[in-house]
Amino acid sequence: MAFLQKNRNKLLIMAFTIMLMNGVVNNLRGQIGPFIIEQYSLSYSKLGFLFSFFSIGSMVVFFFTGKLIERFGLVRLLLGGLVTNFIALSLFFWINSYYLLILAFTLIGIGLTILNISAVNLVSISYSKKRGKMINLLHLFYGIGGISAPYFVTVLIKNGFSWSSSFLFSLIFVIIIGWQFKLVSLPQIEVKTGKQQMDSTLKLLQNRRVTLFALIVFLQVGVEFSMVTWLAPFLKNFQGRSELAVSFHLSLFFIAFTVGRFIASLLVEKFGYYNFLLFNCAAAILFINTAVIGGYNYTILLPLSGIFLAVQVPTTQAAIFDSFSQNGIKVVGFSQTAGMIGSTVLSNWLLGFVNDFFNLKASFIALILVLIISFLATYRLKQLS
């Protein structure tokens, strides 16, 4: 029993390290973009196209999550993620062209997503009775990594390193996780027969609850990315705030996001997954709506809405694992694929259209409508469960 508890603690620490690495590496792009533009003489559209390969790699892995787990098992999948990340990050020793950057970012998207899947599975299996709490706590470390990334790049640049060194130094995470991998005993998730076998992809996609889960993540991830993408232009161009004020509000959003996941880890099991999702979605609607109606003096509520937005995806993942047992990882994969699509369709396309034809304030009204749809979908899901 003592060995099992000790091993479980080691698994948890490894999962936290994986999510910390995800948070750091995924958010380096926000700082390195200007350096890439300068070095390769890129337009903004080419930079956006380049960064989209992070998402393309992720979407492919998320969609085939179930098949990968069935085919290779968790141990080999985690090992494959480590190898992929090592290769991708090592490429920055030699990268000297735009096309090699595309290859590297695609591999990083694939490698990070494989590790992300592995971390969520480790926590879900090891803490099935506190799944909501632990998955929210897991995502808290992603937030810490995201907050750390800008400082990580700044310190390296100030000490004479190039922007690409931020990826090279990230190899430290791969080495640490590889060392942790050797010290733990990982649970096996292999192909099962009979009742324990995962359902086919087609059968799962025909399940109404799967569709609702995917819709909720599609909408919530879209809202998250929309806040990050359009908050700064709204503050600067629509409200005429200073660069310092814009930076403050953006930092506050990420801090609120991280705090929200910590609070969720303490409360989610007491509320129940669906009640917790409904409460936080309603609170986010209230905060954003008040900020839009109240105007300049109530804008602080926009970044503070991150407290409530932060809990949606981790809690939804926990609800999926509870609802679908051995099919949980497949459904999480479908929902995360939907989320990646949502980040593009809602954040870039829909709100870009709204901003062009109306104004930046209208985009936040659109987010309120999106959250209302998410609230109704969650309520319907609760009825079906």
Q: What is the pLDDT of residues 80-109, one digit of tens each?
A: 999 999 999 999 988 888 899 999 999 999
Instruction: Name the residue among 135, 94, 89, 91 with its Cα closest to residue 116.
Output: 135
pLDDT score of 258 more than 60? yes
The domains located in the chain, with CATH, are 2-191 (1.20.1250.20), 201-384 (1.20.1250.20)
Tens digits of residue pLDDT in 325-340: 777 878 888 888 898 8
Taking the CA of residue 324 as centre, how many other CA atoms within 13 Å lie in the half-sphere pointing to its CB?
Answer: 28
Which of 361-378 are b and which e, b meaning 16 or more Cβ less than 10 Å from the residue's Cβ? eebbbbbbebbeebbebb
Q: At 268, which amino acid appears?
A: V
The string of pLDDT tens digits covering residues 114-131 is 999 889 888 888 887 788
- For residue 193, pLDDT beyond 70: no
Average pLDDT over residues 285-297: 94
- Axis crossing angle, helix 131-158 with helix 243-271, rounded to the nearest 10: 160
Q: Which range is least confidently modeled, 24-38, 79-93, 308-322? A: 24-38
